[in-house]
């Protein structure tokens, strides 16, 4: 039960069969603006979904190392044959298995880790594992961009409670922004930028209050 609900694999495979959003997110534009001065970097995308942001970064000639839980999504992206782009099926809980491939792809390049709307899809134990992996694989030159839902989201409390989150059609864990901030600071990350606001990801009538961070080592 836990694997099916927490990892959401069946849900996301079905979701990406028909999800055809092509416009990049506001967060992708925010990220590209902040790294525009970097001469040699790689986007390391933590949960790339259907690749709407992947394709945007590729259009800017930024190499990609992207992974996602959904085999359907990754299969579609692999078939595009995008130059200087690597797409891999990987569950966040298995992220340690990617370290070797990550080092091969990003050798002598600045790593820009990128997570949009993915951290709140896993429980806190997996979040802690992922943050530890990030810290271990980052240097002082690297970046971690994250945008996520929070406890002030309009969807908070909908569905039934499970493992620190709520289940509707799939699992969401609404993150406490202050707790997350204190956690990453205690781990040794440095905060280069932070925001806690609405107006960051408006879609139709939805305007969730999100957290955004840019973290360094």
Q: Quick one: 2-216 is in which CATH superfamily?
A: Vaccinia Virus protein VP39 (3.40.50.150)
pLDDT tens for 113-169 read 999 999 999 999 999 999 999 999 999 999 999 999 999 998 999 999 989 989 888
pLDDT in tens, 191-216: 999 999 999 999 888 899 999 999 99
* Mean pLDDT, rounded, for 25-52: 97
Task: DSSP for the chain, please give it.
Answer: -HHHHHH-HHHHHHHHHH----SPPHHHHHHHHHTTT-SSEEEEEE--TTSHHHHHHHHTT--EEEEES-HHHHHHHHTTT-TTEEEEE--GGGGGGGHHHHHHHHTTSEEEEEEES-GGGS-HHHHHHHHHHHHHH--TT-EEEEEEEBTTSTTTT-SEEETTEEESSSEE--B-HHHHHHHHHHHT-EEEEEEEESSSS-BTTB---EEEEEEE-
Beta bridge mates, 87: 66
What distance in Å separates the CA atoms of residue 72 and residue 80, rounded to the nearest whole number?
13
Tokens representing 168? 């509707």
pLDDT at 2 > cutoff 60: no
Predicted pLDDT at 3: 41
Angstrom distance (rounded) from CA 213 to CA 87: 24
The pTM (predicted TM-score) of the whole model is: 0.94
- pLDDT computed for residue 135 by the predictor: 98
**Cβ neighbours, 10 Å, residue 207:** 14
- Tens of pLDDT, residue by residue over 64-112, are 999 999 999 999 999 999 999 999 999 999 999 999 999 999 999 999 9
């Amino acid at each position: 039960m836990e694997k099916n609900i927490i990892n959401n694999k069946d849900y996301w495979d079905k979701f990406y069969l028909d999800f055809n959003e092509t416009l990049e997110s506001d967060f992708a534009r925010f990220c590209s603006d902040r790294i525009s001065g970097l001469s040699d970097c790689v986007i390391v995308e933590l949960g790339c979904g259907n690749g709407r942001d992947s394709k945007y970064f590729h259009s800017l000639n930024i190499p990609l190392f992207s992974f996602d839980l959904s085999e359907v999504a990754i299969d579609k992206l692999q078939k595009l044959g995008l130059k200087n782009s690597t797409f891999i099926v990987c569950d966040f809980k298995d992220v340690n298995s990617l370290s070797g491939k990550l080092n091969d792809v990003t050798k002598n390049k600045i790593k820009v880790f990128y997570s949009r709307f993915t951290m709140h899809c896993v429980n806190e134990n997996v979040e802690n594992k992922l943050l530890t992996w990030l810290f271990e694989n980052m240097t002082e030159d690297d970046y971690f961009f994250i945008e996520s839902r929070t406890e002030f989201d309009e969807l908070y409390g909908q569905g039934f409670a499970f493992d620190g989150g709520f289940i509707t059609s799939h699992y969401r864990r609404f993150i406490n922004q202050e707790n997350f901030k204190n956690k990453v600071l205690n781990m040794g990350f440095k905060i280069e930028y932070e925001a806690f606001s609405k107006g960051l990801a408006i879609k139709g009538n939805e305007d969730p209050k999100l957290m955004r961070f840019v973290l360094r080592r």
